[in-house]
Amino acid sequence: MNELMQRVVARADAAQAANMSRFFKTGPGQYGEGDRFLGIKVPVTRSVVKEHWKESGWDDLEECLASEWHEVRLAGLLALAQRFHHAKKDPDEQQKCVDFYLAHLPAVNNWDLVDLSCYEILGTWFLTHDAAPLYTLAREGRTIWEQRIGIVSTMMFLRHGRLDDTYAIADILLHHPHNLIHKAVGWLLREAGKRDPQRLRQYLEPRCATMPRTTLRYAIEKFTPAERKAWLNIPRLPA
């Protein structure tokens, strides 16, 4: 067990682990089925990574992402993100980080692991590179996590005022059957709407009657109560 893993495992809290297992739906047939938790909250994991990521080589990151423990995999992803951002003057090293992330997608297998890592690494990288891989993940991802990576990675695009990709990938996923994708798409649409509210309204107008209700609710969350009510009262139509 490498140093980073040891430091994370040492923070285990059995009582908290039981709560997290329920929260992340690890029961039979649930989206996190079989995942195991040490009971460590994200800020604690972040603090451990901040102190020890520099000691973690590629083999150490590999070991972390192969772990049965959710928080150890998260630590590996956060350490990879640190490595990526500290290599901003070394594109070859950043490319290695991106390739490593994409090669280990099976380890990014819950919504928090996706949301806390993908836009920091893939979103930043594809700001200045062809973003086609994000579209491929959204359209052809083997799991809901890979598809979620496709849309959530565009958060970094939004932070730089680039909205087109978020709307295009939202269209790919708009009628996805899983609720966790509905939430992700709605979340990113809401974030896009913060940058340009009128464009969000224009996007929603021809789609709101058929899009998942959860997506619509998330997307319009920052509208006024009266406007939210008006959007939600639009008659539903078959998708």
- This prediction has a pTM of 0.96
24 neighbors 110 (Cβ within 8 angstroms): yes
What is the tens place of the pLDDT at every residue in 59-118? 999 999 999 999 999 999 999 999 999 999 999 999 999 999 999 999 999 999 999 999
Amino acid residing at 90: D
* CATH numbers and ranges of domains, the chain: 1-116 (no CATH), 128-239 (1.25.40.290)
What is the tens place of the pLDDT at every residue in 2-56? 999 999 999 999 999 999 999 999 999 999 999 999 999 999 999 999 999 999 9
Percentage of the chain exceeding pLDDT 90: 98
DSSP 145-213: HHHHHHHHTTHHHHHTT--HHHHHHHHHHTT-S-HHHHHHHHHHHHHHHHH-HHHHHHHHTTTTTTS-H
Q: Which residue in this structure is represented by tokens 């998708």?
A: 239
Give me the count of residues in the chain.
Answer: 239
- Alpha carbon distance 148, 131 (integer Å): 15
Q: Measuring CA to CA, which residue among 34, 40, 31, 36 is closest to residue 7?
A: 40
Q: Which residue in this structure is represented by tokens 């140093």?
A: 3
pLDDT score of 239: 77
